[in-house]
A and B are shown apart, each in its own frame.
Chain A
């Protein structure tokens, strides 16, 4: 599934649109510990988190993640937004909590 299709299916709000929406998403990873994401997320995963610090962009870039989804309507910090724009890391926001959005995403990939 391409990122643009996934964004539609999950009804995500695009916060930082600069980046590759045609990337084929490999799955998802949900975690709020950056070191855990660095250790365990897979390439082209979308990352679901409540962290908004600029280091989320560095981690997404380093792990070549497809995008970051911020939950509970959160917005990235200003520095994170700027860095994401510079580094072409797509950031979404959803009003849903982690549990709900992870469940929807899980079901998309289970099919």
Chain B
């Protein structure tokens, strides 16, 4: 067992709000510079760049975990994290079926699909900045159905954060953890959201120099979502170190 330093919320150039230079190779290089072991790739409502980042990161010895940042009907952002790209793509299909409209790149930004060599493969035309017609509890249920971890994103942020949108964390919502933005330290986060939730700190990076500006350390056997799931529950000697 050893310590794994993870930034579990990083966007790529597929997210309309991210910079075009937030490419697979640039993310991998930034993660290497920041001495991260794990990077969670969570674009808005899509997982189309997760395979490319996983490949680019693998070349420099970093594991990229495929994921999505889903916008629920209530406009709450929820991270989904997986071990397998196929699982993320499976959930993506569920999200796409619930996502109406087409992106206007002039208004929201480009949605670049890239390969592991930073070549542009195409442009996603869906309205990834939009909200899926899935309720928060449907989103969490779907993430678990595909075997992923469900994390309420940036709960300290008013816009698109769970608490900002809904006022409180709904009773019985089976989230695996809460994420706080780099604006809060973990200590401040615990004071604000109570000791009852596993708390993650991640960058929500939209540009390479933001990758790793916040991170969470785990004590794990290997750097997988399955192991992180155990650590969040404190099982099998796996631990969330903070």
Which residues of A does B touch, CB under 8 Å?
Answer: 33-35, 38, 51-55, 58, 61-62, 77
Complex Cα–Cα for A59 and B121 (A): 28
User: Shortest CB–CB separation between residue A54 and chain B, in angstroms?
Assistant: 8
Interface pairs (23), CB distance under 8 Å: A33-B74, A33-B75, A34-B75, A35-B75, A35-B130, A35-B131, A38-B101, A38-B130, A51-B159, A52-B158, A52-B159, A53-B159, A53-B160, A54-B17, A55-B129, A55-B159, A58-B107, A58-B108, A58-B129, A61-B107, A62-B107, A62-B108, A77-B159
- How distant is the Cα of A33 from the Cα of B129 in the complex, in angstroms? 13
B155-210 residues with Cβ-Cβ distance < 8 A to A are 158-160
Q: Number of contacting residues on B, CB 8 A?
A: 14
Q: How many angstroms from the CA of A42 to the CA of B125 in the assembled complex?
A: 24
Binding site for A on B (CB under 8 A): 17, 73-75, 101, 104, 107-108, 129-131, 158-160
Residues of B within 8 A of A77 (CB): 159
Residues of chain A lying within 8 A (CB to CB) of residue B130: 35, 38
Residues of B within 8 A of A33 (CB): 74-75, 131
**Is A62 a contact partner of B104 (Cβ separation < 8 A)?**
yes
Residues in B neighbouring A53, C-beta threshold 8 A:
158-160
Cα of A77 to Cα of B35 in the assembled complex, Å: 31
A35 to chain B: which residues have CB within 8 Å? Answer: 73, 75, 130-131
CB neighbours (8 Å) of A61 from chain B are 107
Q: Write out the residue numbers on chain A whose beta carbons fall within 8 Å of the beta carbon of B17.
A: 54
- Among residues of B, the one whose C-beta sits closest to the C-beta of A77 is B159
